[in-house]
Amino acid sequence: FPAWNYTWIVSTIGGFGVGLCLYFFGQPGEMAKVIDKIHDPGRLEPSQTPGMIATSLVSITAGGSLGPEAPLVQINGSLGSWIADKLNLTLKETRVLTFCGMGAALAAFFGDPVGGPLFALEIPHRRGIQYYEAIIPAVVAGIFSFGVFRFGTGLEIGGIYHFDYFDSIPALSWLNLLEAGVLGIVGGLAGILFIGIFRLTEFAIQPIENRHIWRAILGGLGIGWLAVLYPQTLFFSEQQIETQLIEPASTFTVVTLLGICLAKMMAISLTIHGGFRGGFIFPLFFTGASLGLAISFLIPAVHPTIAMLCCMAAINVSITKTPISTSIILSVLSDTSIIPIIAIASFTSFILTSNIGLLRTQRPRKKVENPQCLIKTALHE
């Protein structure tokens, strides 16, 4: 009995577990639904939290390409909404407190007390932060969350990726700025390819869309077989960027890295459409890292660190439309000082893909005639 069979068997069993969670707990809100609720009614329901926790835990354990950021956002965001409800706050104040919870969760998760909250504020829209009144409260919440988390866990403050496996980055020049722009275009095009794969998977799964157990089983089976071919695609890839890409970089070929990149895109799509729950930020980072490493092998003049970080930023921005926070977060995670390069790649991708979106619920801020209305009134409408 070949050992590789365990991969697809375990992921398929995990898919069955996800299906059972969906059957008994209902369908907790994934990222698009969270965004929709932030806009209207401006709060996250605490009743969704148990189902999200259970489904996400099984999803991650089964090897799905989604991370814990979505359940963390749901848990903390709904806690903010619950507190606002108890204090009988207005709709506007409730949304701010919900953003505080979301920002605090992401600040602890990313290890970035500024980038995390800004990500929570950017992602509801396709063009910039619009709930401006929540910026300072969310960042303050993020700072406290970051401090408590680091003190409680004892983890060191700093980046989690170490690019010193490659040669040190030389002094930046105008050529690096040009490279960042080109890499931003390549990463943006890769993001468009991912959206195409995502939509194709969505179309293929429609016949069994409401059969949650079978859909999750097939999703787990697909994830497992992709992992048999490319084991690097398993799990949500926070640590795998370093352990599966950076450390063994010299063992890969360009074709292998491009295969990993494409397989990861397919794994994310199967995970989401299989009903698994979680966030796709680190899986997108992994996809970009494999693409960037392939480019640096293909064009040795491009430094691997620059290529990887620029493609990580560009792919994520093409999907999430978060150029400001993505630039800050990747600068912190990589423990590098090339934020101008990352920002150029981010905004190049953002401009290229501004009219192409994956999250259909992203939209401009709704004008409220009477923003002082109570949250209870909003819920009864």
Q: How far apart are CA 176 and CA 302, in angstroms?
A: 8
Instruction: Work out the average pLDDT over 187-202.
Output: 95
CA separation for the pair 15, 340 (Å, rounded)? 42
Of the pLDDT bands very low, low, confident and very high (cuts 50, 70, 90), residue 362 is: confident
**Given pLDDT bands bounded at 50, 70 and 90, which one contains residue 79?**
very high
For domain 163-352, say whether CATH 3.30.390.10 is its number: no
**237 confidence band (pLDDT: 50, 70, 90):** confident
Cα 210 to Cα 167: distance, rounded to the nearest angstrom: 51
The per-residue pLDDT for 45 is 87
In angstroms, the CA 100 to CA 77 distance is 7
Question: Average pLDDT of 265-283?
Answer: 91
d(CA 127, CA 313): 16
What mean pLDDT comes out for the span 161-177?
81
pLDDT at 35 over 60: yes
Least confident of 23-27, 261-265, 303-307, 365-369: 365-369
364: its two tokens: 């401009």
The rounded mean pLDDT for the chain is 88
- Cβ(315)–Cβ(194) below 8 Å: yes
> What pLDDT does residue 378 have?
47
> CA-CA distance, 163 to 309, in Å (whole number)?
10
Is residue 154 predicted with pLDDT exceeding 80?
no
pLDDT of res. 368: 55
pLDDT, greater one: 187 or 153: 187
| Alpha-carbon separation of residue 223 from 60, 264, 297 (angstroms) | 12, 9, 27
Q: What is the pTM of this model?
A: 0.90
Q: Quickly state the pLDDT bin for 374 (edges 50, 70, 90).
A: very low
Residue 375 has pLDDT above 50, yes or no: no
Average pLDDT over residues 61-83: 89
CB-CB neighbours of 138 under 10 Å: 31
E strands, the chain, are none
* Per-residue model confidence (pLDDT) at position 183: 96
* Residue 27 binned pLDDT confidence (cut-offs 50, 70, 90): confident
218-240 average pLDDT score: 90
Residue range 316-320: average pLDDT? Answer: 95
Q: Where are the domains of the chain?
A: 5-153, 163-352
Amino acid letter, residue 5:
N
The stretch 6-24 carries a mean pLDDT of 91
